[in-house]
Amino acid sequence: AQSVTQLDSQVPVFEEAPVELRCNYSSSVSVYLFWYVQYPNQGLQLLLKYLSGSTLVKGINGFEAEFNKSQTSFHLRKPSVHISDTAEYFCAVRDAGGTSYGKLTFGQGTILTVHP
Amino acid sequence: DAGVIQSPRHEVTEMGQEVTLRCKPISGHDYLFWYRQTMMRGLELLIYFNNNVPIDDSGMPEDRFSAKMPNASFSTLKIQPSEPRDSAVYFCASSSTGQETQYFGPGTRLLVL
């Protein structure tokens, strides 16, 4: 079984500042990793995903994440945030094996608040 | 594409009543997922279907919960009888084999009094 820990429940930041949202996972097998974003009163939307290949993954809205297997981390970063980035961000993991397609385990979420 | 459609968007009911939540996945998607989101437990996978067949229902909390997918374009999640602790936002998501991206609906906010 997998588990995901998002180390910060809330991250306040000023507009145009850089931000990092931290995610650590636990698994005994190879994994796929995801970041989803949830804007108020909406469903989740995929930001980016790591399946294989380059450990630096670029996503939508200028976000990127780096897979670090030795540290079992998948931190999300953005060099300069905007007010519109205010949302809740979820890290998710799933077993890379074919028998558990789609069975994601989500972290508890990090609320990013961007202040003017 | 219209995206994943869920109805109703909001539901208020009294304890003991039956509640039915509905979902229409994106056309052509062969996977459908039901999630529950609460402050205490976060986002939990309840059940998912592949080609209308339930694959894993280990997240369904108890026998009061049931889900069906009679065809590729419709699924229901039923709670009978409902209890106040079932109050949550219920999301439906769909995906296509090999896509590794789940598309979420806007959710149904359920309040059981």
Is the pLDDT at A7 greater than 90? The verdict is: yes
Task: Compute the distance between CA of residue B24 and CA of residue B69 in angstroms, rounded to an integer.
Answer: 10
The whole-number pLDDT of residue B2 equals: 80
Residues present in chain A in total:
116
Q: How far is B18 from chain A (nearest CA, A)?
A: 24
Chain A nearest-CA residue for B98: A101
The answer to whether B94 faces chain A, any CB pair under 8 Å, is: no
Is the pLDDT at B34 greater than 80? The verdict is: yes
Is the pLDDT at B98 greater than 90? The verdict is: no
The whole-number pLDDT of residue A101 equals: 72
Residues of chain B positioned with their CB less than 8 A from the CB of A43: 4, 91, 93, 104-107
The whole-number pLDDT of residue A98 equals: 64
Q: Could you tell me if A4 and A25 are in contact, meaning their C-beta atoms sit under 8 angstroms apart?
A: yes
The whole-number pLDDT of residue A99 equals: 65
DSSP structure string for B6-24: EE-SEEEE-TT--EEEEEE
Residues of chain A positioned with their CB less than 8 A from the CB of B45: 103-105
The whole-number pLDDT of residue A100 equals: 65
Task: Compute the distance between CA of residue B35 and CA of residue B31 in angstroms, rounded to an integer.
Answer: 13
Q: Could you tell me if A2 and A22 are in contact, meaning their C-beta atoms sit under 8 angstroms apart?
A: no
Task: Compute the distance between CA of residue B100 and CA of residue A26 in angstroms, rounded to an integer.
Answer: 20
DSSP structure string for A3-62: EEEES-SEEEEETT--EEE-EEEE-SS-EEEEEEEE-TTS-EEEEEEE-SS-SEEE-GGG
Cα within 13 Å of Cα(A91), Cβ side: 31
Q: Could you tell me if A55 and A68 are in contact, meaning their C-beta atoms sit under 8 angstroms apart?
A: yes
Contacts of A100 (CB under 8 A, 6+ apart): A94
Percentage of residues in chain A having pLDDT higher than 70: 97
A29-76: pLDDT as tens digits: 888 999 999 998 889 999 999 998 899 999 999 999 999 999 999 999
Is B43 in contact with A109 (Cβ distance < 8 A)?
A: yes
The answer to whether B45 faces chain A, any CB pair under 8 Å, is: yes
Q: Say which of A41, A45, A103 has its CB closest to residue B56.
A: A103
Residue recorded with tokens 């609906």: B105
Q: How confident is the model at residue A2 (pLDDT cuts 50, 70, 90)?
A: confident
- Looking at the DSSP bridge assignments, the partners of residue A110 are A89
Is the pLDDT at A84 greater than 70? The verdict is: yes
Chain B nearest-CA residue for A6: B42
The whole-number pLDDT of residue B99 equals: 82
Give the phi and the psi of residue A75 in degrees, each rounded to 5.
-80, 145
Among B49-58, B81-90, B93-102, the least confident range: B93-102
Q: How confident is the model at residue B79 (pLDDT cuts 50, 70, 90)?
A: very high
Mean pLDDT for the stretch of residues A90-105: 82
The answer to whether A101 faces chain B, any CB pair under 8 Å, is: yes
Q: Could you tell me if B102 and B1 are in contact, meaning their C-beta atoms sit under 8 angstroms apart?
A: no
What is the maximum alpha-carbon separation in chain A?
46
Q: How far is A33 from chain B (nearest CA, A)?
A: 10
Residues of chain B positioned with their CB less than 8 A from the CB of A36: 104
The whole-number pLDDT of residue A103 equals: 83
The answer to whether A32 faces chain B, any CB pair under 8 Å, is: yes
Q: Report the mean per-residue pLDDT for chain B.
A: 94
Which among B66, B60, B97 has a CA at the least distance from the CA of B80?
B66
The whole-number pLDDT of residue A102 equals: 73
